[in-house]
Amino acid sequence: MKPAHGLPARRGVAVAAVVAVLAAVNLAVIGSIRVGADYQEIAALRVQALRSMYAAESAAMASAELLGEGLPAPAPGSLLRLPGADGVYVAAPTPDAAGEIVAEGRAGPARHRVALLVE
């Protein structure tokens, strides 16, 4: 029988190559997951920004509707609860006076402020 010279060395090189390939695949997967998580976070922030904008607009329009009917606007600091967001009444004139209606929408970290002039 002939001795198998060099066979253990070839096996060692093959094992090292397999480990290197698996490490490279692992790094590629981790990198793609991180990129996907960043896009997901950006999308969530955009949704919250839109919710805060619509909440501010809703609160301002509700206050304008009340003033248009001759009723007092909600007190500053009052909340308008909406699904996923809150509208906060910041300022409003009395029903018989001109002034500015200010409302702020809040959804998560997003804030949006709307001001309407009433004549």
**What digits encode the pLDDT tens for the residues 89-112?**
999 898 888 899 999 999 999 999
Alpha helix ranges (H) inside the chain: 7-68
**What digits encode the pLDDT tens for the residues 50-78?**
999 999 999 999 999 999 898 998 999 99
**What digits encode the pLDDT tens for the residues 8-20?**
667 778 888 888 8
Please state the φ and ψ torsions of residue 105, each to the nearest 5 degrees: -100, 140
Can you give the pTM of this predicted structure? 0.68
What per-residue confidence (pLDDT) applies to 39? 83
- CB-based contacts of 52: which residues, under 8 Å, 6+ apart? 85, 105, 106, 107, 108, 110, 111, 112
CB atoms within 10 A of CB 60: 26
What per-residue confidence (pLDDT) applies to 6? 54
What per-residue confidence (pLDDT) applies to 110? 94
Q: How far apart are CA 88 and CA 44, in angstroms?
A: 22
